[in-house]
Amino acid sequence: MQMHEAKRVEIIIEAVMEGRLTAALQKAGVTGYTVLPVMGGAGRSGEWSREGQIGRSGMVAVVCLIRPERLESLLEAAFAVVERHIGVVSVSDTKVVRAERF
Amino acid sequence: MQMHEAKRVEIIIEAVMEGRLTAALQKAGVTGYTVLPVMGGAGRSGEWSREGQIGRSGMVAVVCLIRPERLESLLEAAFAVVERHIGVVSVSDTKVVRAERF
Amino acid sequence: MQMHEAKRVEIIIEAVMEGRLTAALQKAGVTGYTVLPVMGGAGRSGEWSREGQIGRSGMVAVVCLIRPERLESLLEAAFAVVERHIGVVSVSDTKVVRAERF
Amino acid sequence: MQAMMELAADNLLSPIILSFVLGLVAALARSDLAFPEAVAKGMSLYLLFAIGIKGGVAVAGNGMDMQLGVSLLAGMALSALIPFIGFAMLRVMTRLSVVDAAAVAAHYGSISIVTFVAASSVLDAQGIVFEGYMVAVAAAMEAPAILSALWLISRKGGGGADGGGHLWREIMLNGSIVLLVGAFAIGWIVGPEGKAEIDAFITAPFKGILCLFLLDMGLVAGRGLRQSRGEVRGGVLAFGLIMPLIGASLGLMVGLLIGLSLGGTTLLMVLSASASYIAVPAAMRVALPAANPAISLTLALGVTFPFNLTIGIPLYLAVATAILGS
Amino acid sequence: MQAMMELAADNLLSPIILSFVLGLVAALARSDLAFPEAVAKGMSLYLLFAIGIKGGVAVAGNGMDMQLGVSLLAGMALSALIPFIGFAMLRVMTRLSVVDAAAVAAHYGSISIVTFVAASSVLDAQGIVFEGYMVAVAAAMEAPAILSALWLISRKGGGGADGGGHLWREIMLNGSIVLLVGAFAIGWIVGPEGKAEIDAFITAPFKGILCLFLLDMGLVAGRGLRQSRGEVRGGVLAFGLIMPLIGASLGLMVGLLIGLSLGGTTLLMVLSASASYIAVPAAMRVALPAANPAISLTLALGVTFPFNLTIGIPLYLAVATAILGS
Amino acid sequence: MQAMMELAADNLLSPIILSFVLGLVAALARSDLAFPEAVAKGMSLYLLFAIGIKGGVAVAGNGMDMQLGVSLLAGMALSALIPFIGFAMLRVMTRLSVVDAAAVAAHYGSISIVTFVAASSVLDAQGIVFEGYMVAVAAAMEAPAILSALWLISRKGGGGADGGGHLWREIMLNGSIVLLVGAFAIGWIVGPEGKAEIDAFITAPFKGILCLFLLDMGLVAGRGLRQSRGEVRGGVLAFGLIMPLIGASLGLMVGLLIGLSLGGTTLLMVLSASASYIAVPAAMRVALPAANPAISLTLALGVTFPFNLTIGIPLYLAVATAILGS
Ligand SMILES: Nc1ncnc2c1ncn2[C@@H]1O[C@H](COP(=O)(O)O)[C@@H](O)[C@H]1O
Ligand SMILES: Nc1ncnc2c1ncn2[C@@H]1O[C@H](COP(=O)(O)O)[C@@H](O)[C@H]1O
Ligand SMILES: Nc1ncnc2c1ncn2[C@@H]1O[C@H](COP(=O)(O)O)[C@@H](O)[C@H]1O
Ligand code: NA
Ligand code: NA
Ligand code: NA
């Protein structure tokens, strides 16, 4: 099957920032993204878990598949949001079918 | 530690199609897969969120680790299901231990 | 944007072992990890789903971003836990910003 | 007429409607108020279980007659017929594609169980009795509309429907149908004494849980309306307001024909007037992936559901009362 | 005898059993009816909390005597002993490996709190009183069986058990044990007046929530049975039907020995006859990863649980009544 | 004095407090007892809905006067003022950075709705009436404290606050505020008859659900305390115990000034003494990302919340009673 080079950007960010991040991604011309729930984790700011929590606490993982040439503008948009916030951004090489979608 | 080349296939697909997709994967000889919940997302068909929904709405992410040589048959099987449906397929290079499992 | 090489380790493991795994990761000097919920899956030990379950059943996905040079010690720590348990470990190349964090 | 106005006002100011309105307003105002998916599903499981048991117990109490069989058949006929009318109207009134029109039509042939529950709450509050087996009729009306829509598509060739035996099992064994029918059977078997044991769970808190559930539906409907502004307007919007009236009229005729009580006729009108947003959307995603789900869902949940909840139910009751006497 | 038949029939047609059957049938028929994990867990938290409080209040009301200590010790002894019997039977009757046999045996030494709850509902409905502290006995019986199973493994050398101090803390502080014991303590402290404040929550809807919970357990059991067809049959299946009878007999003897009431003896039989599917499965996954979890779970939840629910409870009650008088 | 001691003892041994203690102990002992996030959120939605409706109905019943407007303004003034006092104290008593001190101060200006609910349960149990609109006052006190904290930051230049119009809409339309105010409006509109329809849901099980909710809060608080041992101690810890007393004193003065009843004054003291852990934490994460969320949350939930629950509420009631007569 014909595959096309793409980038898989995974942004783990505080749930309260999700709306701002996805708005920024869309402004940067991203055509789609997927939000995965996160149950818990640990980092420099300690351990946390979603169990029993109320309110928009915790983190989410936003996964975004994009064409390589759009990576830079996506990262800039994402970083404007993530910069001062707790969060992790990673970028991996991947391949997608139906490249016209991205 | 001894690692072996493998492929990580990530299929984001409508929840109603999950059963059909996993049946097709198993028919194609896949030895295992993992289904992750998805909270929301956006694409050409707009934004959506799982919050407050009833019914088998929304999407799921099916992750499948396989040996490189099995990729083609997996993709064909998956595409027969995904093709006419909302969904995204990406394939990344990865490494696994205990290759005999895949 | 300046990116740094890193490894993305994804460990799918039984929920009852989560605490032991993350304790082992932290002992091995890992600076952070993220735990994603898993809805269901299939493998050599059959199909399973989280729906309707009580108790700490099912599996979770632990994602860990680390510097390449730390991979070996992480894998050893993780394998000491995972070894005799149901579970899958995969390692992919990725890139991160703010490498000082990992 | 005045009585009807009063009833409508009463209805509009009931906690049930106001909860829906609160949800709708909160979502349109972009509040982050939201119910977790699991809580929404839990409430819908509760409502289906409780309404099913109550229906079964009512049948167990009143004895059983041929009427049940006739009513089931009549309901299935309505469900199968309405999509044809809906499809024709959509093709005339709107620019929807064949596939989209068929998908929307399937939703309107099928039923909304929450609208049914809200209507039976209104009847209960008014002291109007109705046939307990109307719950079974509701379950029977869920699926035939899907068959009609798929048949329409296969005739019009508007982009191959993806049917097959699998799909049929899935539709008939859809969780909400199984729970409703199963709880109905349980109610029938255990009868009034059995129900007495669990009444404090299935009757006492029912209306309160319905309020919270409608609050959630308001949130979901509001979010849908906000996101699909533009897609549902003009002819499509008009369809969402006219189709329930046509459905209700058909329900009225059939109710009179088969000799249902005032309460039963009103409920059959409500069922015919309502549009599905659980069973049919899932079936359409599988069978007609090319149909845009946002159109059907926004129309069913954002237009027709609030219309029925606020204006429809008191109107249908008033019309049925005028014809059948109270 | 006739009374027992009637009781059994009554029991079989109770909403509780029928709800379980509905779930089982729906899952076997491959319906997509399902409870979200969070809803199932929420119901189990509610049931543990309510049953704990009720037990504690009963103790507070009736005063306390030496009997409690004796009963706790007796329960722990039963829990520790049963795995040895179970293990021996499994090695004779089946081809299960040493590890699998030990894991299954641990499940049968421990207890199923839902079976306990269902049995106490039957007793309540029959107006049979029982010692409030039986809830504490239930909690005390959760863990000793695990110790026995691990000891068996270490003796037989059947594939190293992964014990350690951590594991012990985990088992003793298992959420369900802590909640049950904690709620028992709260009930004991607050007594009848304290309970009166929250009675509308912990007593009134109890049976209804139990129905929904059993509906979910039926779904999970049915799914388990469907997926592991083949693994649970022949000797293994027979074990799942015979072991509860042996457990119940032991429970009966001990109950008579320590002088429990009719209700208390019946509950001790039920506890001894039932098999765990919350605390033990988790502990076994940690301690005996080589054991196949599907075998234990399908046997406990798919075979022994329905057996106890339908036939076991009325049978144990009838036997206890025959011996102790009613 | 003796009466107060008795009240305090009564309060300490109520199911509500004991449930919180159970959760706290379980978490500190590292039990894996946990509520799913969805269940915790579901319970908080229920509590907000029920308390809102009750407040609105009380206003509908007792008629409305200027007092409501005055009380709302007084509450908002308290909420806006307390952060300045808190900030000054933190800068003197602790080594927290400007940003952290401002974030903590915002939490103490805002309110904890569960503390409010627990206090109104105590008043109900004592037969002390209070103004129904206190619920609206609670809602009004949620947000002004955030404004004060941001203003403090912008003055002190302690690390740019990230405000903006978006943030304001988010805070005002925070789910818990919208639900509380919306339910209050519904209660006001439907009045006592409307409430009667859903009383079996919003009144009867209220206290029991509150127990389970506090059990969960105990678990979360205990986990927080366990994980942040070390960060909350010395001056910070002292602040968490002194600040509620200062807040309550201010609430008392304002309550007397505007002529609230004994019950209303007590509730205003409780609101002023309590610290937010829903609306403010979210707003602070957005606006002051540099603030360490663990400090505020552990202090509010792990120190001040249990203090108010156990000692604070009976103390404030006793003081108010001493001044206002019972
Ligand atoms: N190295 C890492 N790998 C995966 N997730 C991480 C990593 N570091 C941090 N995280 C996630 O990001 C959250 C916040 O991290 P931090 O800002 O370091 O406290 C953590 O709770 C984790 O969920
Ligand atoms: N570029 C993308 N990256 C990640 N997820 C995507 C992307 N495009 C689409 N999706 C996911 O697939 C769903 C359907 O996409 P679409 O078919 O484009 O509407 C979206 O709601 C997202 O969850
Ligand atoms: N090839 C695979 N790809 C993705 N996930 C897998 C794979 N094999 C196993 N898993 C996951 O690991 C769990 C246990 O696998 P197993 O030990 O093979 O039964 C499965 O239920 C899946 O969730
Ligand atoms: Na209809
Ligand atoms: Na047992
Ligand atoms: Na305050």
**In this complex, is the C-beta atom of C85 within 8 Å of any C-beta atom belonging to chain E?**
yes
- CA distances to A87, F96, F97, F110 from F158, rounded to whole Å, are 22, 11, 8, 21
Please report the pLDDT score of residue A61 as a whole number: 98
* Touch between chain B and chain F: 3 or more Cβ pairs under 8 Å: no
The amino acid occupying position D210 is L
Question: Which residue of D lies nearest to F43 if distances are taken between CA atoms?
Answer: D39
pLDDT per residue over E310-326, tens digit each?
Answer: 999 999 999 999 999 86
What is the share, in percent, of chain D residues with pLDDT greater than 90? 80
Protein residues near ligand 5, an ion, with CB under 5 A? E 111, 272, 274
Question: Which residue of C lies nearest to B39 if distances are taken between CA atoms?
Answer: C37
Which phi and psi angles does B93 have, rounded to 5°?
A: -75, 140
Q: Which two tokens stand for residue B76?
A: 């064909």
Residue D160 pLDDT > 70: no
- Ligand approaching nearest to the C-alpha of B50: 2
- Ligand approaching nearest to the C-alpha of C98: 1
Residue E34 placed within a domain: no
- Ligand approaching nearest to the C-alpha of F82: 6
- Whether C3 lines ligand 3, by a CB cut-off of 6 Å, is no
**DSSP structure string for E277-314:** SSHHHHHHHHH-TTS-HHHHHIIIIIIIHHHIIIIIHH
Among D190, B99, F228, D301, CA closest to E207: D190
Please report the pLDDT score of residue D156 as a whole number: 75
CB distance D142 to D109 below 8 Å? no
Residue owning the nearest CA to atom 17 of ligand 3:
C86
Q: To which residue do tokens 């951004």 refer?
A: A89
Question: What residues does F165 pair with on adjacent strands?
Answer: none
Please report the pLDDT score of residue D162 as a whole number: 58
Sign (positive/negative) of CA torsion F54, F56, F57, F59?
Answer: positive
- D317/D4 Cα distance (integer angstroms): 9
Residue E161 pLDDT > 60: no
For chain C, the domain total comes to 1
The stretch F184-204 carries a mean pLDDT of 95
- Whether A34 lines ligand 2, by a CB cut-off of 6 Å, is yes
Q: How close is the nearest chain A Cα to the Cα of F274, in Å?
A: 17
CB distance F158 to F200 below 8 Å? no
pLDDT-based confidence at residue C102 (cuts at 50, 70, 90): confident
Q: Which residues of F fall within a CB distance of 8 Å from E183?
A: 22
Interface ipTM:
0.96
Residue D229 pLDDT > 70: no
Coil/strand/helix, residue C28: coil
Please report the pLDDT score of residue E64 as a whole number: 65
Residue F247 placed within a domain: yes
When comparing pLDDT for E156 and F318, which is higher? F318
CB distance E68 to E115 below 8 Å? no
- D81/D99 Cα distance (integer angstroms): 18
Residue D6 placed within a domain: yes
Which phi and psi angles does D17 have, rounded to 5°?
A: -65, -40
Residue E216 placed within a domain: yes
pLDDT per residue over E98-142, tens digit each?
Answer: 999 999 999 999 999 999 999 999 999 999 999 999 999 999 999
When comparing pLDDT for C76 and E66, which is higher? C76
Helix (H) or strand (E) holding B102: none
**Structural domain boundaries enclosing D53:** 2-27+47-324
Please report the pLDDT score of residue B82 as a whole number: 87
Radius of gyration, alpha carbons of chain D = 19
The closest CB to that of D13, out of F174, F183, F189, belongs to F189
0.90 exceeded by the pTM? yes
Residue F63 pLDDT > 70: no
**DSSP structure string for E41-93:** HHHHHHHHHHHHHHHHHHHHHH---HHHHHHHHHHHHHHHHHHHHHHHHHHHH
Lowest mean pLDDT among E58-72, E75-89, F168-182: E58-72
Please report the pLDDT score of residue D273 as a whole number: 98
Q: Which residues of F fall within a CB distance of 8 Å from D25?
A: 182
- CA distances to B85, D84, D90, F202 from D151, rounded to whole Å, are 20, 10, 16, 47
Q: Which two tokens stand for residue D87?
A: 């499809």
Size of interface A-B (CB pairs under 8 A): 60
Residue E207 placed within a domain: yes
pLDDT-based confidence at residue E229 (cuts at 50, 70, 90): low
Residue D163 placed within a domain: yes
For the domain that residue E114 is a member of, what is the CATH number? 1.20.1530.20
- The DSSP 8-state label assigned to residue A99 in this structure reads G
Neighbour-count burial for E157-187, b at 16+ CB within 10 Å, e otherwise? ebbebbbeeebbebbbebbbbbbbbbbbbbb
pLDDT-based confidence at residue D272 (cuts at 50, 70, 90): very high
Q: To which residue do tokens 């309160």 refer?
A: D208
**Structural domain boundaries enclosing C49:** 4-101
Residue D159 pLDDT > 80: no
Residue A97 pLDDT > 90: no
Among E124, E153, E152, CA closest to E263: E124
**In this complex, is the C-beta atom of C68 within 8 Å of any C-beta atom belonging to chain B?**
no
Residue F199 placed within a domain: yes
Q: Do C94 and A90 touch (CB under 8 A)?
A: yes
Query: Which of C34, C62, C92 has the most ligand 1 atoms within 8 A of CB, as the residue to mutate?
Result: C34
For the domain that residue A86 is a member of, what is the CATH number? 3.30.70.120
Protein residues near ligand 4, an ion, with CB under 5 A? D 111, 272, 274
SS3 per-residue string spanning chain F? CHHHHHHHHHHHCCHHHHHHHHHHHHHHCCCCCCCCHHHHHHHHHHHHHHHHHHHHHHHHHHCCCHHHHHHHHHHHHHHHHHHHHHHHHHHHHCCCCHHHHHHHHHHHHCCCHHHHHHHHHHHHHHCCCCCCCHHHHHHHCCCHHHHHHHHHHHHHCCCCCCCCHHHHHHHHCCHHHHHHHHHHHHHHHHHHHHHHHHHHHHCCCHHHHHHHHHHHHHHHHHHHHHHCCCCCCHHHHHHHHHHHHHHHHHHHHHHHHHCCCHHHHHHHHHHHHCCCCCHHHHHHHHHCCCCCHHHHHHHHHHHHHHHHHHHHHHHHHHHHHHHHCC
Residue F34 placed within a domain: no
- F105/F81 Cα distance (integer angstroms): 10
Q: How far is the CA of F144 from the centre of ligand 6 (A)?
A: 11
pLDDT per residue over B29-59, tens digit each?
Answer: 999 999 999 999 999 888 899 998 888 788 9
Please report the pLDDT score of residue D303 as a whole number: 96
Mean pLDDT of chain E: 92
pLDDT-based confidence at residue B63 (cuts at 50, 70, 90): very high
Residue F107 pLDDT > 60: yes
Please report the pLDDT score of residue E27 as a whole number: 97
For chain E, the domain total comes to 1
pLDDT per residue over F230-260, tens digit each?
Answer: 777 899 999 999 999 999 999 999 999 999 9
The stretch D26-46 carries a mean pLDDT of 96
- F11/F315 Cα distance (integer angstroms): 11
Q: How close is the nearest chain E Cα to the Cα of D182, in Å?
A: 6
Q: How close is the nearest chain A Cα to the Cα of C83, in Å?
A: 22
Q: Please list, in sequence order, all residues whose beta carbon lies within 8 angstroms of the beta carbon of residue F287, skipping any fewer than 6 positions away.
A: F146, F150, F161, F162, F163, F167
